Amino acid sequence: MALTSSEYIKHHLTNLTWGCDAGHCGFAASMEQAHAMGFWSVHVDSMLWAIICAMGLGWMLRSVAVKMQAGVPRGLQNLVEVLVEFVDSSVKESFQGRKASAMVAPMALTLLLWIFVMNFLDLVPVDILPMIFQSAGVEHMRVVPTTDPNITLGMATFVFLLIIGYSIRFKGIGGFVGELTLHPFNHPVFIPFNLLLEGVSLLAKPISLGMRLFGNMYAGELIFILICTMYPTNIGLGAFGGVLQWAWAVFHILIITLQAFIFMMLTIVYMSAAQEVHH
């Protein structure tokens, strides 16, 4: 049975969700049932494609490292070396002359490439992979992990924990707590106000980091889906939809690259700020 436009959009925006509802555990049959499963439900498709992207990226980088040769780099080795040098220089510039931790540059490179690969899945035609999984009996399948706030906020939360860890490492627990309670007004009477002000500023970092990536990628996915609803209407509108699809895909290449870069750069900046000691 053919779906209406609203049903088609709703279907493509529904995750393959596993959870428990009213004592029954299993995969949700609809978006409403997925919502009823609550916080502890798992978006299996988002997790699956995020892991596939990570494994594919890891395999690719390992194959380049194994086959790396001295001299003038070519092909994929050349691209990887350019990216490594770019990230390394970005870390050194953002840390303002300080010797960056050996973990920061590899982490930044991992975030940049992993997010880009996950974003790139948005350029796969929206019906191809869901139709393949439907033929195998899987009703719902969203293939772009970064259109799921659970994934983007999960990465942002990891960065947030690193920020806290770096702050405590370089400032000590007393210094970290002191910045939260005695900045910007260095007087005990202002401790509640300082804690509220600095606490909001600190918590805003992971929220803005994750929601920025999610919002841009979700909007991009939604536009692709909306354009696809034009195809069954008539030949003229379908042809116009094809032109729009191509134009948006070309523009979306810039978006997916920019969002990966912004997430990486903000992570570097936040990690650098975590090392700075305020007197």
d(CA 119, CA 111): 12
**Six token digits for residue 112:** 């940049």
Q: Which of 41, 46, 216, 272 is catalytic?
A: 216
- Residue 38 identity (one-letter amino acid): G
**208 annotated active-site:** yes
**216 annotated active-site:** yes
* CA torsion through residues 252, 217, 265, 55, sign: negative
Strands (E), the chain: 17-21, 24-27, 42-43
Q: Who contacts 147 (Cβ-Cβ below 8 Å, separation ≥6)? A: 122, 214, 217, 218, 220, 221
**212 annotated active-site:** yes
What phi and psi, each to the nearest 5 degrees, are found at residue 18? -115, 135
Q: Which residue has the tokens 């493509």?
A: 12
* CA torsion through residues 179, 111, 255, 230, sign: negative
Q: Which of 89, 201, 208, 234 is catalytic?
A: 208
Residue 27 per-residue DSSP state: E
d(CA 237, CA 241): 6
Q: Which of 101, 212, 234, 272 is catalytic?
A: 212
CB-based contact 15:42 (threshold 8 Å): no
Question: Which residues are annotated as catalytic?
Answer: 208, 212, 216
